[in-house]
Amino acid sequence: MIRFLIALGCLGILGELQAESLVPGYQRFHAEKISSRGGALLYSELGCANCHGKSPVRIERSGPSLDALSSRVQRDWVIAFLRDPQAARPGSPMPKMTHDLSKLETEALVAFLGSLGKPARLKPPRHANAERGSALYHEMGCVACHAPTPDYRGPHGPVDAIAEGVVAFPDLAAKTGLLELQHFLTHISDFRGDGRMPHFALDAQDAFDLAAHLLDYQSSDPRDAPRVAPWPKASKEKIDAGRNLFFGQSCHACHDVPGKQAYPKVNLDKSKNVKSSNCLDAGSHPGIPSYQLTENQRASLVAYLVEKPAKPAPEEAVDLTLMAMNCYACHKRDNKGGPVPETDPFFVGEESLGDSGRLPPPLTGIGHKLKEDWMTGVFQGRHRVRPYLKTAMPGYPAHAATLAKLFTAVDHRPDAPALVSNKADLAAGHQLLGTHGGVNCAACHNWGDKPSPGIPGPDLSDLDHRLRPSWFREYLLNPSSYRPGTLMPPLWPGGQSTVPDILGGDTEKQIAAIWTYIQEGKEVPKGYVEKNGQYELVPSDRPIVQRAFFEKAGGRAILVGFPGGIHVAFNGDRGHPARVWRGRFFDAYETWFLRKAEFQKPLGKDALEFGPPPSPNRFRGYELDKAGNPIFQLQHAGHRFTETYRVEGSKLIRSLTSEKSPLPPVAHPKGLKVKTATDSPRKKTFVYSW
């Protein structure tokens, strides 16, 4: 962690963050000029609304939970943070609150904080892997808000720039321990209830590995990891004095504690002169929060307050909420937001889907797209329909319903043209979804547990649970209007059907039929393979030749299966035979139906490898003779020759022929009997037997 913070300092990031309270949404969209919208965001995110009321952001900002603080955070770090929040955690929105307290008073306040709650029982794991934690940190979305580790080497190379407005870490090793940080990472919403640090569905091992990375803990045995030291016991008198200071300093305006007193809001509308408000002064005043603000931050707050702010309109409330929660770090809405160039390379996923396979979806019109109950489940962290994205959508369990209602109120268009379902068109919907005369949805989309034979697009079988039918209709008519650059083709270009033989080519009826079948259809559309094993190739009358990715034969392998149960794999990259086996030939399921098939293996037994030839040949293609046997066209040292295979009984016959030049040396299968039937400079025949 020390090297992590030093590296940030060398990049000039740490110093900048120490100068001001950081609000990522403000830093990205409003820091360069004075604006009341920027001031509204600061009014919420710096906690002004907690004292003065009327938050413009629907999900109000609050301070972290102080429950069981003494079992989670080192006492010395808490004292340092209270004395100077910006020094302890650069960019912290927490103002200085103890600048007018004596050392004894500060210790009393800390004693009260140490008395809150009961510690959780923490169980050490068997191991922790900081390297795996680094991969999680850089791929699951952490770097959308936080800086990448400078020495990280990802799929796009080393880190060469860090985005402005990153949320800096404190010295985590000085603040907490491995087990305590793991507990925080698995219970984020318990400690950060306002959602500014959202909840991630991490299992215990993921959280331990991530904590090991953040703490730069390199040992594999977490039982040796430093723990939070016990806080000294305090007297009841000292705790009571600290409690009085806690409420006297108005800490309860932001932090929830047992026995919390009601906080009387200070109405700024009645303030005689907002511009001279002590909270906005650059100096410190007894009993008044002391913020470190830039001139633009201070002026933007004043601009917001002098407007006598009213409750923002729904559209403005959505924008302010997305800035406050930093959703724009991952998502676009109405051409605003999305990953910045510095963070874009860290969004990874399914490359075959292009940007749609690695970037989170846009939020434009999301309240019109998703049904409200489904959207609530998404914000709760219960639904995930894009498993190919490595970036994880976090959860906001305490605010899910509020967010879903807000988006629905702004986006939903009940007057949008509706789909008119007709059960009589179920068969047409079934055909349209499939690859047999339809629009080939099955070629790119999964259906329940049935994978698509092509790119792994979102599951179609439960779209009716997620999407509003009116949005579904609009999207099929013009996919790029929702997501420019999408791989989803316009299947009804200009509103015209490309399959005129179904439902008379009526576009509206066809789209409605697809929706109806998704709702009520029972059978899997045509084009999905039931299971592996149904595409085994069995040579009967003639040899079968199949191109494939094949183990020990490379990515350009030519497989030859002969009747009688003897088979050969030829390496098309190096121009020589690679394997020979007996028994069953080959299952073509993955080769035919999976876009990213792995290297396949022979189905039969006794697979033997040919020894490597002294030098590779150049493969120039192949032909089939009248019996279907392959004739491989090869070249060695500029001279061409052919190599053929056939089966006679239980023997494999291999022949090499050159018209003009001597043949190159060859290698034979290890473990087979080899008989040389013909041996001349321009023709060689070998007979292999078991």
- Per DSSP, the residues of 606-667 read EEEEBPPPSSPPEEEEEEE-TTS-EEEEEEETTEEEEEEEEEETTEEEEEEE-SSSPPPP--
Q: What is the mean pLDDT of residues 519-547?
A: 84
Residue 566 DSSP SS3 = strand
Task: Looking at the structure, tell me whether residues 567 and 674 fall in a common domain.
Answer: yes
Each residue's pLDDT tens digit, 367-414:
999 999 999 999 999 998 998 899 999 999 999 999 999 999 999 998
Number of domains, the chain: 2
Structure tokens at 531: 């299971």
- How does residue 12 score in pLDDT terms, banded at 50, 70 and 90? very low
Q: Is 249 in contact with 35 (CB distance < 8 Å)?
A: no
Question: 445 phi and psi, to 5 degrees?
Answer: -120, 145
Residue 619 counted as domain residue? yes
Opening angle at CA 166, ends 160 and 169, nearest 5: 105
Structure letter (DSSP) for residue 397: T
Beta strand spans in 244-346 (E): 332-333, 336-337
Q: Of 175, 181, 215, which is closest to residue 76 (Cα–Cα)?
A: 175
- How does residue 64 score in pLDDT terms, banded at 50, 70 and 90? very high
pLDDT score recorded for residue 219: 82
pLDDT above 80: residue 308: no
Structure letter (DSSP) for residue 49: H
Domain C-terminal end among 466, 493, 520: 520
Structure tokens at 569: 């794999």
Residue 384 counted as domain residue? no
pLDDT above 60: residue 5: no
Residue with tokens 């035919």: 592
Q: What is the mean pLDDT of residues 528-556?
A: 83
Alpha carbon separation from 144 to 346, 394, 551 (Å, rounded): 8, 12, 39
Give the separation between CA 635 and CA 555, rounded to whole angstroms.
20
Task: Looking at the structure, tell me whether residues 638 and 549 fall in a common domain.
Answer: yes
Q: What is the mean pLDDT of residues 617-628?
A: 89
Q: Is 629 in contact with 658 (CB distance < 8 Å)?
A: no
Residue 344 counted as domain residue? no
Residue 117 DSSP SS3 = coil
Task: Looking at the structure, tell me whether residues 553 and 664 fall in a common domain.
Answer: yes
Each residue's pLDDT tens digit, 181-236:
999 999 999 999 999 999 999 999 999 999 999 999 988 777 888 899 999 999 99
Continuous segment of H or E residues that includes residue 26:
helix 24-29
Residue 613 counted as domain residue? yes
Question: 620 phi and psi, to 5 degrees?
Answer: -120, 15
188-220 b/e with 16+ CB inside 10 Å = b? bbebbbbbbbbbbebeebbbbbbbbbbbebeee
- How does residue 11 score in pLDDT terms, banded at 50, 70 and 90? very low
In the chain, pLDDT over 90 holds for what percent of residues?
64
Beta strand spans in 207-351 (E): 332-333, 336-337
Residue 237 counted as domain residue? no
SS (H, E, C) 329-362: HCCEECCEECCCCCCHHHCCCCHHHHHHHCCCCC
Question: 33 phi and psi, to 5 degrees?
Answer: -145, 160
Structure letter (DSSP) for residue 288: B
pTM: 0.75
- How does residue 672 score in pLDDT terms, banded at 50, 70 and 90? very high
Under 8 Å CB-to-CB from 574, ≥6 apart: which residues? 554, 613, 616, 617, 619
Q: What is the mean pLDDT of residues 239-265?
A: 87
Residue 333 counted as domain residue? no
Minimum mean pLDDT range among 11-15, 143-147, 393-397, 464-468? 11-15
Q: Is 587 in contact with 603 (CB distance < 8 Å)?
A: yes
Q: What is the mean pLDDT of residues 577-583?
A: 96
pLDDT score recorded for residue 26: 96
Residue 665 counted as domain residue? yes
Q: What is the mean pLDDT of residues 228-252?
A: 95
Minimum mean pLDDT range among 7-16, 99-108, 185-194, 476-485? 7-16
Task: Looking at the structure, tell me whether residues 604 and 488 fall in a common domain.
Answer: no
Give the separation between CA 387 and CA 488, rounded to whole angstroms.
18
Task: Looking at the structure, tell me whether residues 616 and 506 fall in a common domain.
Answer: no
Task: Looking at the structure, tell me whether residues 544 and 508 fall in a common domain.
Answer: no
Each residue's pLDDT tens digit, 422-454:
999 999 999 999 988 899 898 889 999 888 877
Q: Of 495, 503, 497, which is closest to residue 477 (Cα–Cα)?
A: 495
Task: Looking at the structure, tell me whether residues 514 and 557 fall in a common domain.
Answer: no
Q: What is the mean pLDDT of residues 460-468?
A: 96
Task: Looking at the structure, tell me whether residues 677 and 547 fall in a common domain.
Answer: yes
Mean pLDDT of the chain: 89
Domain C-terminal end among 455, 485, 520: 520
- How does residue 287 score in pLDDT terms, banded at 50, 70 and 90? confident
Give the separation between CA 626 and CA 117, rounded to whole angstroms.
85
Residue 494 DSSP SS3 = helix
Q: Is 569 in contact with 602 (CB distance < 8 Å)?
A: yes
Residue 656 counted as domain residue? yes
pLDDT above 60: residue 583: yes
Range of the domain at 430: 423-520
Opening angle at CA 275, ends 270 and 277, nearest 5: 65
pLDDT above 80: residue 1: no
In sequence order, what are the beta bridge partners of 679?
A: 684
In the chain, pLDDT over 70 holds for what percent of residues?
93
Task: Looking at the structure, tell me whether residues 622 and 504 fall in a common domain.
Answer: no
Domain C-terminal end among 491, 520, 549: 520
Task: Looking at the structure, tell me whether residues 454 and 504 fall in a common domain.
Answer: yes
pLDDT score recorded for residue 8: 37
Structure tokens at 561: 């299966």
pLDDT score recorded for residue 66: 95
* Exposure of 424 in the CB half-sphere (CA atoms within 13 A): 3
Task: Looking at the structure, tell me whether residues 479 and 592 fall in a common domain.
Answer: no
Structure tokens at 296: 């633009």
Task: Looking at the structure, tell me whether residues 543 and 625 fall in a common domain.
Answer: yes
Minimum mean pLDDT range among 123-127, 452-456, 463-467, 618-622? 452-456
pLDDT above 80: residue 647: yes
- How does residue 612 score in pLDDT terms, banded at 50, 70 and 90? confident
pLDDT score recorded for residue 10: 36
Question: 29 phi and psi, to 5 degrees?
Answer: -110, -15
pLDDT above 90: residue 142: yes
Q: Which amino acid is at 280?
A: L
pLDDT score recorded for residue 156: 63
In sequence order, what are the beta bridge partners of 678?
A: 685
Residue 462 DSSP SS3 = coil
Q: What is the mean pLDDT of residues 449-464?
A: 87
As a whole number of Å, the CA-based R_g of the chain is 34
For the chain, give percent helix, strand, coil, nearest 5.
Answer: 35, 15, 50
Structure tokens at 556: 């350009």
Structure tokens at 665: 């040396």
pLDDT score recorded for residue 396: 95
CATH (domain of 459): 1.10.760.10
pLDDT above 70: residue 571: yes
- Please provide the distance, in angstroms rounded to a whole number, between the alpha carbons at the two ends of the chain: 62
Structure letter (DSSP) for residue 467: B
